[in-house]
Structure 1
Amino acid sequence: MSPRRSVADALGTRSAILGRSVAIASAEGLEGLTIGRLATELGMSKSGVLGHFGSKEALQLAVLDRAGEIFRTEVWEPVVAAAPGLVRLRALCEAWISYLERGVFPGGCFFVAAAHEFDGRPGPVRGAVEARFDTWRARLTKEAGRAVAAGDLPGSTDPDQLVFELLGLVMALNHAIQLHRDPRAATRARHAVRARLET
């Protein structure tokens, strides 16, 4: 086997492990990931799974990275070409709602679930979850600030407060979809976001 083929095979195996891990962690939490379970489900040895990551914590961090890539593909990339400011902020909110409505992750928002699981635990995984939220909040706040500066939102608008409220609305949507299976939840969320972003 050529070195090039060997590297490709290793990357393919790692990708398969991460894909299955994201699905499990979305529904059962990052702590639900065990090397033994992944080995059984993927038809691998435990050492074969572990060899790609080195530790369960490293696997969890890699899963967070993969989930972040999926979120970026689903929510940020479709709207990156939108005009900065209010137009992009509205588009981001719609893509965010759609991501939950379509059940991109079987357990709802991957990062809300991870935050609930790790917000009370110190360590690298908690830090990585917090960093993801910080990055997302900063992106939304930047667009809100641009909208205020352009006069598309009232000058009295506090971008940090606005983003706090938008985060709350979407977390409520996630809760309504996952716990209550509310078929009108996405419509309610869209109505709430539209009302909050009226100029």
Structure 2
Amino acid sequence: MGDARIARGNLTRRTVLQRAAEIASVEGLENISLGRLAAEVGISKSGIFALFGSKEELQLATVRSAISFYLEHLITPNRQLPEGIVKVRLLCDSWLRSSMGRVFPGGCFFFATSVEFAARPGPVRDLLAGAQREWIHYVERVIVAAIEAGELTADTDPATLAFELLSLLDGANSTALLHDDDTAYQKAATAILRRLRSAATDPALLCDPPALLTVA
């Protein structure tokens, strides 16, 4: 009986956080509330309060839930790939597919919420900033591994290349959403491919287009 109750509680928590992340990706973390989620998910406000206790705790839990999603669906699959330039390219392609597929209705969860909290000190901003740092560091590590594998030129600066690639990803996300035009993802995929080819020791390593983002 106790195990069933715990399982129901965990399911309710996941359902609430999924809806909270969907709202936050479009309207921001400030627009999620205990009362709104109770009405939309179909449980009592006191039930939501028992799970999170405060709006800030709900916001923090929503961010952690989004972090877990990206770790499970983007980072973990990429870690299984052989080190090299193709791994760098496929990481970018996976991110583009996630945004293009509107896994979160507002595209990239962290693009929307980081802008919202960029100038607002506090625990939520700290958690968002930490998540962004970890993402940047992961991309840099994948690039470093490609350099060590001899597939990116030795003079490639990992931090600069990571910044360029991430800027293209964010630009595709924001342009596609603002103009309701998914060709931005195609343009970003093409630009990423060309940038990586320019730094590759053997550009032919990147000759095959990705399955869902055909590039020239």
After TM superposition, is the score higher than 0.5?
Answer: yes
Q: Deviations over 1:133-172 (max 9, x none)?
A: 1111111101111122222111111000000111110110
1:168-179 aligned within 5 A: 168-179=167-178
Segments of 5+ residues of structure 1 without an aligned counterpart are none
Q: Check whether the contact 1:82–1:91 (CA below 8 A) recurs between aligned residues.
A: no
Is 1:65 the equivalent of 2:64?
A: yes
Partner of 1:141: 140
User: In the aligned structure 2, how far is the partner of 1:184 from the partner of 1:16?
Assistant: 32
Q: Which contiguous aligned blocks of 4+ residues in structure 1 show a shift greater than 4 angstroms? A: none
Residue 45 of structure 1: how far off its partner (Å) = 2.1
Percent same amino acid at aligned positions?
40
Q: Could you tell me which amino acid in structure 2 is paired with residue 157 of structure 1?
A: T
Partner of 2:196: 197
Q: Check whether the contact 2:100–2:182 (CA below 8 A) recurs between aligned residues.
A: no
Partner of 1:53: 52
Gap change, CA 1:9 and 1:112, over 3 Å in 2? same
Given the two structures, how large is their TM-score scaled by the length of structure 1?
0.95
User: In the aligned structure 1, how far is the partner of 2:127 from the partner of 2:84?
Assistant: 27
Calculate the aligned-residue CA RMSD, in Å: 1.2
Q: Could you tell me which amino acid in structure 1 is paired with residue 116 of structure 2?
A: E
Segments of 5+ residues of structure 2 without an aligned counterpart are 201-216
User: In the aligned structure 2, how far is the partner of 1:183 from the partner of 1:119?
Assistant: 26
Residue 61 of structure 1: how far off its partner (Å) = 0.9
Given the two structures, how large is their TM-score scaled by the length of structure 2?
0.88
1:16-95 aligned within 5 A: 16-95=15-94
Q: Check whether the contact 2:140–2:159 (CA below 8 A) recurs between aligned residues.
A: yes
Q: Could you tell me which amino acid in structure 1 is paired with residue 29 of structure 2?
A: L
User: In the aligned structure 2, how far is the partner of 1:4 from the partner of 1:33?
Assistant: 30
